[in-house]
Amino acid sequence: MAITKQIPDTIFAANSFCPGCGHGIVIRLIAEVLDEMDLSDRTIGVLAVGCSCLVNRTLAVDLMQSAHGRATAAAAGIKRTRPGNLVFTYQGDGDAISIGIAETLYSAQRDEKITQIIVNNGVFGMTGGQMSPTTLVGQRTATSEKGRNSEINGDPVNIMKLLSQFNTAYLARGSVHDAANILKTKQYIRTAFELQMRGEGFTCVEVISPCPTNWHMTPDQAVERIANEVLEVYPLGEFVKGEHQK
Amino acid sequence: MLMSKIELKTENCKGCGNCIRNCRFEALAFNNEVNAKGYRIVTVDRDKCVGCGMCYTVCPDYVFSIED
Ligand SMILES: Cc1ncc(C[n+]2csc(CCOP(=O)(O)OP(=O)(O)O)c2C)c(N)n1
Ligand code: SF4
């Protein structure tokens, strides 16, 4: 039953994420899809701010860093001037859903022909685990020491629901906490990239991902937490597929 | 006996244990070695490995490759 599994060519070096961090898996999935579609040479990734930016040490595609939260705006500009390229953003939840919420929503509202990848680990990872829009109610973080209180902080933001109101080409949420979902998430990324290359509109894949360091957990505990707590709030699946009107 | 061609780049390993937890054939374990980054690294028992690729799938650090 042996099968061939090789590190994709589009991965050029080891990553520098913490042990058990989900970013490393998401980046490998992107690289696998780019290899399979033979698109690495025609791909432009746009980063902003956060641990997500460490992708530049690992992924062998052209990359640009924008200001915090502005990745989809920059990506939209790139795609409009280079429609033949695959243009995607790689952002954390803090970046895409907090400071960058305007750019995220209006890129979807304008149906920009880009792919936004949001790695949702429920915290601001790089800066030390502060509360983010997607932090769960009751979750302790550096800025919610007693746990997120919905009366003070509101409820967690479900970006798939927010984006669903616009006329987008594809919206899906995957997770990298177990093998079956890792494989599904790869399919979501592939579908988004294929739709973009066919000239369809805005595509977004949100990926639930562990941040063991800022969750103050072992890697094992972090994936358990996703299975037992996080997915209840953020159900997985494809939310918009094929209903695109244009 | 089925012997898979699994290769490990242990210099990439950060000792997260994802592979060990997910290997149904109990072919993976930590040994007492530490790599240059200071992490406890994983080793494979080649007699037990069937080359299913599970470790490749769940590893965030590009440690495993498997050839048929
Ligand atoms: C304009 C600006 N404000 C604040 C910061 C500080 N900062 C760096 S990373 C970050 C949050 C990143 O969190 P997230 O997007 O969730 O990514 P993660 O690190 O979890 O992958 C912030 C606020 C900054 N770099 N620039
Ligand atoms: S702080 Fe969290 S998101 Fe950042 S590299 Fe470490 S585990 Fe990953």
pLDDT for the residue A1 = 55
**What residue spans define the domains of chain B?**
5-67
How many Å lie between the alpha carbon of B43 and the closest alpha carbon of chain A?
17
Q: Could you tell me if B57 lies within 8 Å of chain A, comparing CB atoms?
A: yes
pLDDT for the residue A217 = 98
pLDDT for the residue A4 = 83
- Residue B68 pLDDT class (50, 70, 90 cuts): confident
Residues B4-60: tens digit of each pLDDT: 789 999 999 999 999 999 999 999 999 889 999 999 999 999 999 999 999 999 999
Contact A223, A64 (CB under 8 A): no
Contact A71, A89 (CB under 8 A): yes
**What residue spans define the domains of chain A?**
23-240
Above 90 in pLDDT, residue A108?
Answer: yes
Going from the Cα of A125 to the center of ligand 2, the distance in angstroms, rounded, reads 5
Above 80 in pLDDT, residue A46?
Answer: yes
Q: Could you tell me if B20 lies within 8 Å of chain A, comparing CB atoms?
A: no
Contact A2 B50 (CB under 8 A): yes
pLDDT for the residue A157 = 98
- Report the candidate in A122, A116, A92, A120 with the shortest Cα–Cα distance to residue A104: A116
Q: What is the pTM of this model?
A: 0.97
Fold of the CATH domain A23-240 = Rossmann fold (3.40.50)
Going from the Cα of A166 to the center of ligand 2, the distance in angstroms, rounded, reads 31
Contact A17 B60 (CB under 8 A): yes
Contact B58 A25 (CB under 8 A): yes
Fold of the CATH domain B5-67 = Alpha-Beta Plaits (3.30.70)
- Residue A83 pLDDT class (50, 70, 90 cuts): very high
Residue A137 makes CB contacts below 8 A (sequence gap 6+) with: A147, A148, A149, A150, A155, A156
Instruction: Tell me the sheet residues that pair with A88.
Output: A45, A115
Matching residue, tokens 């699946």: A237
Q: What is the mean pLDDT of chain A?
A: 96
- Report the candidate in A120, A72, A242 with the shortest Cα–Cα distance to residue A170: A242
Beta strands (DSSP E) in A20-177 are: 43-47, 62-65, 86-92, 115-120, 123-124, 130-131, 170-175
A205 lines ligand 1 (CB under 6 A): no
Q: What DSSP element (H or E) covers A240?
A: strand A237-241
Which residue, judged by its Cα, is nearest atom 20 of ligand 1? A125
A202 lines ligand 1 (CB under 6 A): no
Contact A224, A137 (CB under 8 A): no
* Prediction ipTM score: 0.95
